[in-house]
Amino acid sequence: MIDKMKKLTFLVYHREYDSFLRDLQALGVVHIQKSGDQTMAEPATLRTLRQQLCDVRSVLSSLQQIAGVFLEDVPVGSAGVTESIEASQAMKLVRRVQEIESSLVALKPRMEQLQRDVEVLRPWGTIDRTLMKKLHDAGLREHYRIASAKRFEQKFPGYASMVVNRDKRFVYFLTFDIEGQESEHVAAQSLRLPDMSLDEAEREIASLSSQRDALEFERSKIAEDNIGDIIALQQEIASAVAREEATLKTQRAALDTVVVMEGWFPVREEKAIAAFLSKEQAYYEMREPVATDDVPIRLRNNRFNRMFERLTRMYGFPCYNEWDPTPVVAPFFTLFFAICMGDAGYGIIITLYGLLEIMGKARKTPIVGEMLHGCGDMVLTLGVATTLVGLALGTFFGLSIIDYVPAGTPLHHYYEVVGGKFPGTTYSFQMASAIIIGVVHLCIAMMVKAILYTKKNGLSATLSTWAWNLLLIGGIIVGTLSMVGTLSPDTTRFVIIGIGAVSAVGIYLLNNVGRLKSSPLKALLINPLAGLYDTYNMASGLLGDVLSYVRLYALCLAGGALGSAFNNIGNMMDERGVVMLPWLIYLVGHTLNLLLSAISAFVHPLRLNFVEYFKNSGYEGKGTGYEPLHNAECVMPNT
């Protein structure tokens, strides 16, 4: 649900503004809103602070990887500044880390080039440069050549050559000729050696390696001893940036002697706000929001739904006069994910990972890194749901549970039903179930849309929407009751005719009540045409939307088939007596299948909520998130 908000307007004397803003930031519950003419250019101070914040976050990201910790695990001073060093010293450490990393970047290509030179020079050993100079002075020129041992024995004994080195494949040798009198073509690869000797290259590599090790040790020492100080610096700069940005949103009045600020706060924080303002020398006014206000949105849900608020934020916050879609997204996303995975074994793995993440033991795993950090509760929930749905569908690591259940038992009969045809149809039970779930999901969306539009525009403006709900949802309910025998055929026919007649009036005549009141004759001609166009869009759109839910069945089937295929391959290798290979196939195959299935099980349920549900529920997601002015907390860099 959406927290109720109130608007707060301040008038602050300009000399007291800085201290007032710091106190307001410490309170941490007021969302500052832009007020007045916001054409003032961004000050250089703010640009500098933002650049410093970017630099600090970049350095923290590097130090975090070196220290192997998450930043929120590092203790910092309660006041935002550590006791060991001041902010200026912490900034010097940041600059020093930047210098170290620049030096390391500069060293890398030179060391790589030297390593390549060493590989070229090593077969030639230490070349006597003095001897080569004497030969040059005497008018001789040497050529460094490589040939296979067989070709060398056959082709080169007649040349003036000197063997320098041999290995299992090649002979490394020199040929000489008189300067200006090149010898005839020699069928061997000629090399141009680096100007330095092997000893010189190795000494330079050793020197550069020492420099690199010293720089890396210094950086590691800073990461070990001072990462908390740099985190505190980040908090201090981020708080300063927030204050500068808040200042930009204010306007000046009374010859710049009064600062006017506007903001929003949750109604539940009204007592704290009132207590704060009673101690401040500022005039203020509180009021309820009006229709034209851009009210910031803070979502407030129960523990289960709160885990899935991050999905709602991915699409966009609701507007203040909309409903929070999270209570619907949460259970359906969980169900869709579980169906797409469809394997109890994979569900157990996901559940265990979620537990490890909650306990903080999964932070070192290299597979997912920081991607799922902070999502342990959601991962655990999805894992439990996948385990339950996988057991319900009868799949465990690609194995069919029905094969291990004694025939004739109720459980065996249940799995026969689940794996068979839907009663009274020729369709797969699981595919029909996916479509039924989709129909329920869309019916909820349409009902939410009708209620929301009625709340915003009034009942008379939404009669057509309610008529469609009556026709579709009422028709589904009546059809279901008829199929199970609750309603007789005559009663069903009578109710269907009644629903159709009432719905037709709303769809084709009352779809624009305003036009009907102002020009009845014109409305009798235009409203039915508009109803026909709406009928075409509804029929074609709903059909495509319902069929989109078949993907739940398809992904479940694909994951199960791939897991079964890996099992069959492993079993084949086991039957042939190949030691250890079957288990390697099981491990690699199911790991790959688990990762691929998890990606699909996240993306496609997200699409069913973001596209099919949001479109049919009228959700736009154009709201502004609630971002109170507060002292910066420890956050991950680049987030």
Pair (219, 184) in one structural domain: no
User: Where do we find the tokens 């990461």?
Assistant: 223
Chosen domain end from 254, 279, 297: 297
Using one digit for the tens of pLDDT, what is the confidence trace for 462-521? Answer: 888 888 888 888 888 988 888 877 888 888 888 899 988 998 888 888 877 777 677 777
In a domain, 368, yes or no: no
pLDDT at 161: 64
Q: Which of 36-50, 268-282, 453-467, 592-606 has the lowest average pLDDT?
A: 36-50
Report the distance separating Cα 226 and Cα 147, nearest Å: 57
408: in domain: no
pLDDT at residue 370 in the model: 53
Q: Is the pLDDT of residue 195 over 90?
A: no
Residue 434 or residue 83, greater confidence: 434
pLDDT of 351 reads 93
Confidence of residue 634 (pLDDT cuts 50, 70, 90): very low
Where among 271, 297, 323 does a domain terminate?
297
Examine residue 108 and state whether it is found in any structural domain, yes or no. no
pLDDT of residue 81: 41
Confidence of residue 243 (pLDDT cuts 50, 70, 90): confident
DSSP calls for 106-143? HHHHHHHHHHHHHHHHGGG-S--HHHHHHHHHTTEEEE
pLDDT at 439: 92
Residue 218 within any structural domain of the chain:
yes
pLDDT exceeds cutoff 90 at 209 = yes
Q: Are residues 166 and 223 in the same domain?
A: no
Q: Say whether pLDDT at 84 is over 80.
A: no
**Taking 60 as the threshold, does the pLDDT of residue 563 lie above it?**
yes
Three-class HEC string of 275-316? HHHHCCCEEEEEECCCCCCCCEECECCCHHHHCCHHHHHHHC
Residue 541 sits in which domain range?
459-548
CB-CB contact of 451 with 322 (8 Å): no
pLDDT recorded at residue 327: 93
Which residue would you say has higher pLDDT here, 187 or 263? 263
pLDDT tens per residue across span 96-138: 998 998 999 999 999 999 998 888 888 888 777 777 778 777 8
Least confident of 121-125, 245-249, 558-562: 245-249
Choice between 423 and 179, residue whose per-residue pLDDT is larger: 423
Which H, E and C letters describe 491-515, residue by residue?
Answer: HHHHHHHHHHHHHHHHHHCCCCHHH
Mean pLDDT in residue range 316-333: 90
Residues 94 and 147 in one domain: no
Task: Please state the rounded mean pLDDT for residues 555-564.
Answer: 91
Rounded to two decimals, what is the model's pTM? 0.73
Domain match, 90 and 226 both = yes
Least trusted range by pLDDT, from 176-190, 340-354, 543-557: 176-190
Contact 367, 342 (CB under 8 A): no
Cα 478 from chain centroid (whole Å):
43
Query: Residues 91, 171: one domain?
Result: no
Is the domain of 95 the same as that of 229? yes
- Is residue 237 domain-resident? yes
Q: Does residue 243 form part of some domain?
A: yes
Beta carbons within 8 Å of 266's beta carbon, 6+ residues apart: 3, 4, 5, 6, 29, 298, 626
Domain total of the chain: 3
Residue 269, SS3? helix
The answer to the question of residue 323 being in a domain is: no
Nearest CA to 160 out of 142, 135, 136 is that of 142
Q: What is the number of other CB atoms lying within 10 angstroms of the CB of residue 356? A: 17
User: Which residue from 85, 402, 126 is spatially nearest to 228, judged by alpha carbons?
Assistant: 85
Lowest-confidence pick of 52-61, 211-220, 354-363, 429-438 = 354-363
Do 4 and 299 contact (CB within 8 A), yes or no?
no
Closest by CA position to 314, among listed 1, 625, 552: 625
Average pLDDT over residues 428-442: 91
Does the pLDDT of residue 184 top 90, yes or no? no
Question: Over the chain, what is the mean pLDDT?
Answer: 82
Pair 141, 17 in one domain = no
Strand bridging mode 296-297 / 282-287: unpaired
pLDDT at 637: 39
pLDDT at 215: 92
The pLDDT of residue 346:
94
Q: What is the pLDDT of residue 49?
A: 85
- At residue 193, the pLDDT reads 81
Looking at the structure, tell me whether residues 150 and 72 fall in a common domain. no
Please check whether residue 226 lies inside any domain of the structure. yes
Q: Are residues 159 and 290 both part of a single domain? A: no
Say what the pLDDT of residue 529 is.
87
Which residue among 268, 297, 326 closes a domain?
Answer: 297
pLDDT of residue 154: 66
Are 68 and 143 members of one domain? no
Confidence of residue 639 (pLDDT cuts 50, 70, 90): very low
DSSP helix/strand/coil, 160: coil
Q: What pLDDT sits at residue 331? A: 94
Q: Which residues contact 415 (CB under 8 A, 6 or more apart)?
A: 394, 400, 401, 402, 405
pLDDT in tens, 11-40: 877 777 778 888 888 888 888 887 655 555
The verdict on 146 and 13 lying in the same domain is no
pLDDT of residue 356: 85
pLDDT of 333 > 90? The answer is yes
Model pLDDT for residues 301-311, shown as the tens digit of each residue: 999 999 999 89
Model confidence at 142, in pLDDT bands (50, 70, 90)?
Answer: confident
Kindly state whether residues 25 and 95 are assigned to the same domain. yes
pLDDT band at 77 (very low <50, low <70, confident <90, very high): very low
80/536: higher pLDDT: 536
